[in-house]
Amino acid sequence: MTLSLNTMSNPTPASLEMAQQALEDGLPRLIHDYRPDYHLAPPTGWMNDPNGVVFFRGEYHVFYQHHPFDAQWGPMYWGHAKSADLVHWQHLPIALAPGDDFDRDGCFSGSAVVCGDTLALIYTGHTWLGDVGDERFIRQVQCLATSVDGERFVKHGAVIEHAPQAGIMHFRDPKAWHADGYWYLIVGARLADTPLLPLYRSTDLRAWEFLDYASRGTDGDGYMWECPDLFRLDGRDVLLYSPQGMQPAGYERLNKYQTGYRIGRLDSDWHFTGGPFIELDNGHDFYAAQTLETVDGRRLVWAWLDMWESPMPSQAHHWCGMLGLPRELELQGDRLGTFPARELVALRQAPLPSVAPWGESGYCSVPQVTGDRLEIHVHLDLLGCTEGQLGVALRCSADGQEQTLLYYDAALRRLVLDRGRSGAQVSGQRSVSIAPEETQLHLRVFLDRSSIEVFEDNGRFSLSSRIYPRPDSLGVTLLANGTGGRVAIPKAWPLGSGWL
């Protein structure tokens, strides 16, 4: 299949050159205290949503929402990086810049697909019709851009110029895929305070037929579903999206916005029916996830490892935002299992000494495990742990002022990630429930300067959060302040750089 390249616009507008120059000018001002070493982050400036994640000509490409001129959100560009192995990344020139009539005020989120020998980006062109920031007066259209080399893109303008019905202004984040001889596309939309997911079909990525609303929200579902993604996994349909406006309930949905999924079926009338909304990650910072099917059939997902209106102290360091690790999704009954991408083992350097099981009351420093870029396997033996807390303190400072806690709370029967002393500006706890019959917890913990990502070894949950400790807060400590149970670190590795 080949994509026609007619109606091209200028592939190298001055705004792209200015944006690239802004990145180069910003590099000398960077402060590296919080900059990740093996996660995707912008060279300088602002990053939010992952956009097109795609495999093209033997390499993985990840695009992202980017403001290259400042570490604050601004008119959106598309940043761009690629990798041959999902581990080592290379920044590429900025892919898209706003400025045409159809995307004058922003190239908002979207997706990428491969059509024959062409890489196609489908994104939302954003225009303020009134004052900048006044969301009552906006125009959003779905646009197409293409590239034959995977680096230089040509815009083709709006391919869906109007929402399916009057009254819809918020109309963004198209996700496209190919199945059964057609291209399909799902978009997030908002009608008053009702979220809608319009579904479209095309034969050429240019002319799109509206099929129906694949899903729509009801009371309690929020007012907008951003970044929708609809895909097949082991014979089931999975609807992944990021709702805005859902209310907290107990320990659930504590972030300003969430990212989660429903598992079900898209029927022949283009309607998705499925189970309840389940958060994909239970940490403080995880949003706008997007998936990719690999050549070997795995489903990978990336997300923005930040949250709107959360503390972002790296802005003072002239950069802001990072993406989480690529994760593999696996269907486990009526839930998704989440695992770090298997390729990430290539980051491991010489293993650190193991830490034997320990269960005495108090704290036990383990100087053989230290650093700010680590993979640590934590084993919690909960047998007999009937009260108190059992776990580890990470990124500990020598003066005792800083630490990030990960522990089992016996009274609550929950695994808790506590940022109360995790450094600049951040605070708060996030947790997941642990069944009463569970006596063993095996956790994989990834630390990278200003982030922590915790994965249960069987994929049942993950907790991902930003932390901002001082560069010299590098210690690891075991903790036990109740009765029973033991904690061990059977394996740990320093992790190398993910940048070429």
Q: How far apart are CA 82 and CA 62, in angstroms?
A: 6
Q: Which of 305, 331, 328 is nearest to 448 (CA)?
A: 305
Query: Are 143 and 127 spatial neighbours (Cβ–Cβ below 8 Å)?
Result: no
Name the residue type at position 271.
H
Residue 500 has what pLDDT? 87
DSSP 218-280: -TTS-SEEEEEEEEEETTEEEEEEEEESPPPBTTBS-SSB--EEEEEEE-TTS-EEE---EES
Distances, alpha carbon 59 to alpha carbons 63, 112, 147, 292, 393, in Å: 13, 13, 15, 13, 38
DSSP output for 377-440 = EEEEE-TT--BSEEEEEEEE-TTSS-EEEEEEETTTTEEEEEEEESBSS---EEEEE--TT--E
- Find, among 373, 263, 369, 370, the residue nearest to 325 by Cα: 373
Nearest to 246 by CA among 229, 262, 266, 225: 225
**What's residue 3's pLDDT?**
57
Query: Which residue in the list 25, 33, 37, 49 is annotated as catalytic?
Result: 49
Residues 80-88: contacts with CB under 8 Å, at least 24 apart: 80/151, 81/40, 82/150, 83/59, 84/58, 84/59, 84/60, 85/343, 85/346, 86/60, 86/300, 86/326, 86/341, 86/343, 86/344, 87/38, 87/343, 87/344, 87/346, 87/347, 87/498, 88/498, 88/499, 88/500
User: How close are the terminal C-alpha atoms of the chain, in Å?
Assistant: 33
Identify the H or E element spanning 18: helix 14-26
In this prediction, residue 132 carries a pLDDT of 85
pLDDT score of 69: 97
**For position 130, what pLDDT does the model report?**
87
49 flagged as catalytic: yes
Ordered domains of the chain (ranges, CATH) = 14-344 (2.115.10.20), 349-494 (2.60.120.560)
What does pLDDT average to in each consecutive run of 10 residues of the chain (500 residues)? 48 78 96 98 98 97 98 97 98 97 97 97 96 88 98 98 96 97 98 97 98 97 98 97 97 98 97 97 98 97 98 98 98 98 98 96 96 98 95 97 98 98 98 96 98 98 98 98 94 96
